[in-house]
Amino acid sequence: MGLAIIIILVSLGLLFAVQWMLKQPAIKPVQRAKQAVVAANFLSAALGVTTECNERTVRELLQDCALTGGVTKCGPETSCAFVDGKLKDLFNATLDEWGQEYYFIIRGPAAVQRIEFNEPCPGEREQKIHPLPVGTGGIRIELVLEMCR
């Protein structure tokens, strides 16, 4: 009888140990807040970057791309192709370098919707949306950055 009790107690102990080891670590609220701040600051800073394309900012090039489909020329490229490459460079130099998984997309007119990096986050994520007005006709685009956990 004593051996049976010991076997049951050891089995319960192993069950709790396995359950504890398989449990995903919970993301702390501080880490979630940090990801939200990084996402918001990245979007804000990226829009203010002055480019080599006629000394225009990323914001201005995105607005041109959304409004005109890329009429402004940046060397041999349209503003749409140029700003796509510039944003990719910014992501490579920051979030990719830091090992942070993310998903980035722009919602709006068809010309800017082609700007998308990585795959949507498979699990939990912290998402920031930065609206950007385009022209006076009420057209706007949204920059969406998801920080994967």
Cα(141)–Cα(113) distance, integer angstroms: 9
Cα(70)–Cα(74) distance, integer angstroms: 10
Interior angle at CA 127, CA 97 and CA 110, nearest 5 = 90
List the structure tokens of 113: 């919707």
User: Which tens digits make up the pLDDT trace of 73-95?
Assistant: 998 999 999 999 999 999 999 99
User: Which tens digits make up the pLDDT trace of 31-72?
Assistant: 778 888 888 999 999 999 999 998 999 999 999 988 888 888
Cα(61)–Cα(84) distance, integer angstroms: 10
List the structure tokens of 118: 């990585």
pTM for the whole thing?
Answer: 0.74
Neighbours of 55 (CB within 10 A): 8
